[in-house]
């Protein structure tokens, strides 16, 4: 990762709440991906924003020592150490305990964890396109581990979706990243933005 990419990644990690604006129009994934529970009432879940998952006043850059980054090479041991410290800080990002037990509807992108011929059983929900795949994982408080009671057919990597369910403030570790929250999906639907 070069210095420009690193500094962009740091800025992106610091301002994740703004990344929600990158959620685009509905994904071209298979029409008819059924809700996880057809009996769920979508109105019983309030729409949540990604920044609500971060504790109020949390500043991920507060303890980072990023000085004169532009004069350092990618292989400089100081840069390597800063990257380790940054990853550790992001993986241990504090959770907003007020969201524990909240019944919410949250938009995001799918990062598959357990995809079978019968359908997807688990995935990470992330706030911006490419997270955990093309870019390093966001902070743990910006990743939700979604468990699907009945495998969802037709979901693909980076599909834009709405997931409804009850959040649990529960950390999890996967090959794709550390999640700060878990949710059993009551409903999964293609993302549709607000009418213009």
pLDDT digits (tens, 9 = 90+) for 149-170: 999 999 999 999 999 999 999 9
Distances (CA, A) of 93 to 8, 14, 63, 137: 19, 11, 12, 12
Q: What is the mean pLDDT of the chain?
A: 79
Checking if the pLDDT of 176 tops 80, the result is yes
Domain range annotation of the chain: 3-190
Neighbours of 77 (CB within 10 A): 8
Distance CA 153, CA 80 (A): 41
Distance CA 32, CA 13 (A): 34
Q: What is the DSSP letter of 131?
A: B
Checking if the pLDDT of 61 tops 80, the result is no
Checking if the pLDDT of 9 tops 50, the result is no
- Mean pLDDT value across residues 171-181: 95
Pull the structure tokens for residue 52: 């609500």
Q: At 78, is the pLDDT very low, low, confident or very high (cuts 50, 70, 90)?
A: confident
Q: At 55, is the pLDDT very low, low, confident or very high (cuts 50, 70, 90)?
A: very high
Distance CA 71, CA 184 (A): 46
Distances (CA, A) of 4 to 46, 69, 153: 38, 9, 39
> Which H helix or E strand runs over 15?
none
Q: At 67, is the pLDDT very low, low, confident or very high (cuts 50, 70, 90)?
A: low
For residues 99 and 50, is the Cβ–Cβ distance under 8 A?
Answer: no
Report domain 3-190's class: mainly beta
Q: Residue 19 phi/psi, 5° resolution?
A: -65, -20
Checking if the pLDDT of 76 tops 50, the result is yes
- pTM of the predicted structure, to 2 decimals: 0.76
By C-alpha distance, which of 66, 53, 64, 133 is closest to 98? 53
For residues 65 and 8, is the Cβ–Cβ distance under 8 A?
Answer: no
Listed range (28-32, 71-75, 117-121, 124-128) with the worst mean pLDDT: 28-32
């Amino acid at each position: 990762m070069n210095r420009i990419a690193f500094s962009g990644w740091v800025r992106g990690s610091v301002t994740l709440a703004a990344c929600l604006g990158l959620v685009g129009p509905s994904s071209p994934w298979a029409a008819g991906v059924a809700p996880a529970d057809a009996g769920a009432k979508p109105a019983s879940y309030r729409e949540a924003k990604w920044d609500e998952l971060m504790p109020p006043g949390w500043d991920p850059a507060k303890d980072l020592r990023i000085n004169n980054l532009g004069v350092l090479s990618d292989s400089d041991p100081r840069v390597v150490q800063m990257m380790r410290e940054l990853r550790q800080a992001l993986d241990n990002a504090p959770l907003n305990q007020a969201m524990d037990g909240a019944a919410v509807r949250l938009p995001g992108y799918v990062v598959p964890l357990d995809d079978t011929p019968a359908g997807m059983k688990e995935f990470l929900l992330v706030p911006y396109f490419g997270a955990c795949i093309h870019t390093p994982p966001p902070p743990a408080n910006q990743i939700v581990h979604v468990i699907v009671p009945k495998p969802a057919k037709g979901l693909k990597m980076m599909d834009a979706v709405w997931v409804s369910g009850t959040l649990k403030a529960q950390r999890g570790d996967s090959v794709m990243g550390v999640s700060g929250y878990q949710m059993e999906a009551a409903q999964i639907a293609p993302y549709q933005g607000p009418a213009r």
